[in-house]
Amino acid sequence: MNLKQIAALGLLLLLASVSRAQVTPQRMFIPRLYQQNYFYLNPAFAGAEGRREFGVFGHVNSINRESSSAPLSVIAHYQGYVNANNSNGIGIVGVYDQFGPYWLGKLGFTYAKRFQLGTQSSLAFGAQLAAEYMNVDLSEKSRGEERRMVGHDNDLRPDIDAGVWLKLRNFYAGGTVASILEPSYNLVGDAEHEGIREIVVTAGYKLALTEQYSLIPSFLMTQALEDGKQEYQFGTMAHIKFLTAGVNYRGQFDKRAPWNVSAGLNIKDNVHLTTTFDITKKSVGVPKPDPQVEANLHIRF
């Protein structure tokens, strides 16, 4: 191999490394109200409550920002009915996730097979096949640059999630492998995004104190499978007649908003409305962030 060939090979390797460095990892959006969004987080949850369910969830990074481009996430889902005569859970999930100049749209179809382990216990396996659409606003992305781009670029990719869900009377646990296909969205310039394969694990227990009073402590762990750190949330939801209240701790990985508190209504176990609000704190040299807000509505029938 002569000197020119060696130089050409070195240049190709350098360009490949630079190109790789420009790829932005794209992780799954994790709600603070994770207890109310198990179907979004785990396809095997379909039918775990034994009722049909329609749900809508919204998240904003700040209620004080006037910009229309403020980060926003919306999740809508429907899951079918599962009983002793119908063990096949089906459902659909739609997601809109906006972050900076990007937004991700997702439409996923879910199938779950549930095996009864007695009258109050079951084990389910589920999968979700989804189409994901990534869009970038090139004008917003290149804001402040000398040569500002215009227009939009987008890409469409498939993805798969798979999960398992165990229910033993009042105890539950689930695990998900998300973004199995690791979709790579090929966008203009350094706007390329790549889906990150990760795991989501949760567990909880319902303490039924009386017929109208209950307490549900739980945790949620997420981790990127490749060189990722485990991130834990610990939460407790209390149900007092038609009222609900809760608190979550996220300080293991979020030092600026370590706590969030929630409150809501539970109307005859058919309609659930829950909201949550961050408790933020100031860091050294960094101003106190605006609290992020979420709201979730479930209708069961």
CATH number of the domain to which 163 belongs: 2.40.160.40
pLDDT per residue of the chain (301 residues) written in tens, 0 to 9: 555 555 554 555 444 444 444 567 788 999 999 999 999 999 999 888 878 899 999 999 877 654 445 578 999 999 987 766 777 888 999 999 988 788 899 999 999 998 988 888 889 999 999 999 988 877 766 666 666 666 667 889 999 999 999 999 999 999 999 999 999 888 776 667 788 899 999 999 999 988 889 999 999 999 999 888 999 999 999 999 899 999 999 999 998 899 999 999 999 889 999 999 999 888 777 778 888 999 999 998 8
User: pTM score, two decimals?
Assistant: 0.85
Tokens linked to 40: 């979004």
- Identify whether the C-beta of residue 175 lies closer than 8 Å to the C-beta of residue 199: yes
| Domain with 20 in it | 3-300
Give me the residue label for tokens 């909201």. Answer: 275
What is the token pair recorded at 234? 């610990």
The answer for residues whose C-beta is within 8 angstroms of residue 216's C-beta and 6 or more apart is: 35, 204, 205, 206, 207, 236, 237, 238, 239
Of residues 104, 147, 109, 106, the one with CA closest to residue 128: 109
3-class SS at 37? helix
Which two structure tokens, joined as six digits, stand for 53?
Answer: 């369910």
- What share of the chain in percent tops pLDDT 90? 52
Six-digit token string for 102? 């990007």
DSSP 8-state code for residue 133: E
Dist CA 73 CA 291 (whole Å): 15
Tokens matching residue 247: 């608190």
Quickly count: other Cβ atoms within 10 Å of residue 301's Cβ.
9
Domains held by the chain: number = 1
